[in-house]
Chains A and B, each alone.
Chain A
Amino acid sequence: MVNPFPGKWFRSKAMRMNDVDDIQSGPSSSPKIIRRPPVSSSEASSKSLGLQEFTGSKVQNVNNSGERLDLFDELKRRFLSFKKHKYLEELEHFQTLKEAQSPKFMVIACADSRVCPSTILGFRPGEAFMIRNVANLVPPVESGPSETNAALEFAVKTLEVENILIIGHSCCGGIQTLMSMRDNGDSSFIKSWVTNGKIAKLRTEAAANHLNFDQQCRICEKESINHSLLNLLTYPWIKDRVRKGLLFVHGGYYDFLNCTFEKWTLDFKGSSVEERGRSLVRDQELWC
């Protein structure tokens, strides 16, 4: 294991500061906030976290720590609102959840801030075990331990989910990096990771060389989902359950340019899902 502090000149210590105060709520009283002025229920509708500053170009550096405190004050307000309007309203459901989770879905989605599956598909607490990584990639079993396959193992063997859904999306920065990278020896983390999608890139270039770069990226985003779906089947404990009809493997593509969602299911016939190099799919739908 790499020495975390190679120069030994750097010490760090996490100190708990308890920025968010405990809420105490009695059985018949409204929640009280200790040590901070109470959150007014007539406060303006939620501030977005910096979205007013969005220019699409670059983010301003925060030199003013007061501005940063505002961000966390906003998160605090939202948590308290969640507690009041959702958690306490559905207390029985949350009490059940505290015992155990039994989600029917495992979802693999991109870390991109625009594509949270809870938002776009309305997954509620307890419904989807979720992995989010750059470009929603699933490496094959032969590439060794990864955060993704540790989560797969837990979801399939322990939680026994019935569905795995890989969701890709338009304008994916990871896929764009994959499509534009050259083998020039530059060994950034991003390039090492997106190389897991290399076969999808080769397929895209072979089939869509006549299209412009953006169009090729759109195609690669979908090819990469299919490639990751096939990589799922390299795990024996996944393939076995799919073969027995205990587990279904689906792809999903969220196009936020047009706000559409496409989904399909891998069609497992006998021992192979590929016919002449193409994945067999069924139940393909476009929601728009």
Chain B
Amino acid sequence: MGSKSYEDAIAALSKLLRKNPDLYGALAKGQSPKFMVFACSDSRVCPSHILDLQPGEAFMVRNIANMVPPYDKTMYSGVGAAIEYAVLHLKVENIVVIGHSCCGGIKGLMSIPDDGTTASDFIEQWVSICAPAKTKVKSEYSGLSFSEQCTNCEKEAVNVSLGNLLTYPFVREAVLKNTLVLKGAHYDFVNGKFDLWNLNFQITPTLAV
């Protein structure tokens, strides 16, 4: 690293400490964020920038296309670990899944050939988590251009991830007790917009025969 970036880093760290020394003392003892955020790894969409999140406010998972896989202890346990930690240990009150415009992961998903052949070691298998979003978009928006279909898929994939969150028993329980709220979001950096929406769900009585 060159000396310029070293000086910038020093300046950033010093600024942090000067800004609120009491805060940093408190944070050293523990964290109690109210949010868990899922965001894409894309370098352009860090929620700390766009939502000015401060240290201690949001437990943040970032992965390709901000995806949440369904509950499965044998596969993708890293995401499960993060959700488990956030909900059971940190007791966050809100989980927000934030998609974004021009998402390479979603574009990759939409580009997987119909016969399912893949060219990558891991990427295509990962983005296939949101295959239901692709299926929905291709059937409901078949008349749109590829780029418009991708935009719709970015948002539908957030909904698939929200649904997948509910497959984790500890998430479901907290949502039912109203101690946890799930929200979806989409950051459009082409037009400078931020959409936010709620997950609505219904519980129907079991039918026992």
A residues adjacent to B (C-beta < 8 A): 1-2, 4-5, 7, 9-20, 22-23, 46, 48-51, 53-56, 58-59, 61-63, 68, 71-72, 75-76, 78-79, 81-83, 86-88, 94, 97-98, 101, 103, 111-116, 118-134, 137, 139, 145-155, 157-158, 170-171, 173-174, 187-190, 192-194, 256-257, 259-261, 263, 283, 285, 287
Q: Which residues of A contact B63 (CB under 8 A)?
A: 131, 133, 147-148, 150-151
> Given the interface contacts A125-B49, A145-B126, A153-B122, does A14 sit within 8 Å of B200 by beta carbon?
yes
Roughly how many angstroms separate A170 CA and B30 CA in the complex, as a whole number? 11
A18→B155 CA distance, assembly (Å): 13
Taking a contact as CB atoms under 8 Å apart, the answer to whether B56 and A130 are in contact is: no
Known pairs A7-B206, A58-B91, A62-B179; A14 contacts B199 (CB<8 A): yes
Contact (A256, B27) CB under 8 Å given A51-B54, A113-B33: yes
Contact of A98 among B43, B77, B101, B203 (CB under 8 A): B101
Question: In the complex, what distance in Å separates the CA atom of A276 from the CA atom of B94?
Answer: 48
> Which residues of B have CB within 8 Å of A53?
32
Once the chains bind, are B49 and A154 in contact (CB under 8 Å)? no
Question: Is B104 within 8 A of A146, CB to CB?
Answer: no
Q: What are 20 A-B pairs at a CB distance below 8 A? A: A4-B166, A15-B198, A49-B57, A50-B57, A51-B57, A59-B34, A59-B92, A72-B196, A78-B51, A87-B189, A114-B56, A115-B55, A128-B46, A150-B63, A153-B121, A173-B89, A193-B77, A259-B13, A287-B9, A287-B13
B9 close to A147 (CB less than 8 A): no
B74 to chain A, nearest CB (A): 9
Question: Known contacts A11-B204, A148-B78, A149-B122: does B73 contact A16 (CB below 8 Å)?
Answer: no
Task: Given the known inter-chain contacts A119-B16, A190-B81, please indicate yes or no for A61 contacting B179, CB distance below 8 A.
Answer: yes
**Which of B61, B71, B200 meets A111, CB within 8 Å?**
B61
| Max chain A Cβ within 10 angstroms of own Cβ: one of B44, B53, B162, B206 | B44
How would you classify the secondary structure of chain B's contact residues: helix, strand, loop or mixed?
A: mixed
- How far, in Å, is B78 (CB) from chain A's closest CB? 5
User: Does B209 have its Cβ within 8 Å of any Cβ on chain A?
Assistant: no
A56 to chain B: which residues have CB within 8 Å? Answer: 26, 29-30, 32
Instruction: Tell me the complex Cα distance, A1–B76, Å.
Output: 12
A241 to chain B: closest CB distance in Å?
15
Partner of A130, one of B62, B81, B190: B62
Complexed CA–CA distance, A101 and B103 (Å): 10
Instruction: From A72, A125, A261, give the contact of B9 (CB < 8 A).
Output: A261
Contact of B184 among A14, A118, A125 (CB under 8 A): A14
State the CA gap A123–B49 with chains docked (Å). 9
Interface hub of B51, B164, B206 (most chain A Cβ within 10 A): B51
